[in-house]
Amino acid sequence: MKKVLTLLFGGLIALTLFVSTGNTAKAAGECGCNALLITGSERNKIVSELLKSDGFKNKKMELKEKGYTWNGAKNIEVINLIDYNAILTAAAFTNNNGEEIMFIFKDGKFLYSDPMIPEEALMELQTFLAIQ
């Protein structure tokens, strides 16, 4: 959970650095977001929807071709970003070097992965969160 929360907060902090006006040093120092880890039957329902989505299936197949291994549904975390009215899911995959990398989805659409968050993915994340 710590890893996913760090990833999400880091992504949001990076997003504020690229998008917001004002003091960027202040934006980097505090996230200002309100997040909740979703568990139980609600989590299971969201994970089930993710697993059925074309976005997840396509990304999973793409990663498998690159040598990644999916860590299974039990390792999917669901986070509710309350301030943004957004629910994100983070699926863990392991690369050839044995590093666990989280791939973030919203509504079954791939957004970005940790540890690298390209600027284009941040703009997509901003668009998704703005629509909500």
Tokens 């629910």 — which residue? 87
* pLDDT tens profile 57-77: 999 999 999 999 999 999 999
Q: What end-to-end distance do the CA atoms of the chain give, in Å? A: 24
Tell me the pTM. Answer: 0.64
Report CA dihedral (96, 97, 98, 100) to the nearest 10 degrees.
Answer: -90
Q: Quickly state the pLDDT bin for 119 (edges 50, 70, 90).
A: low
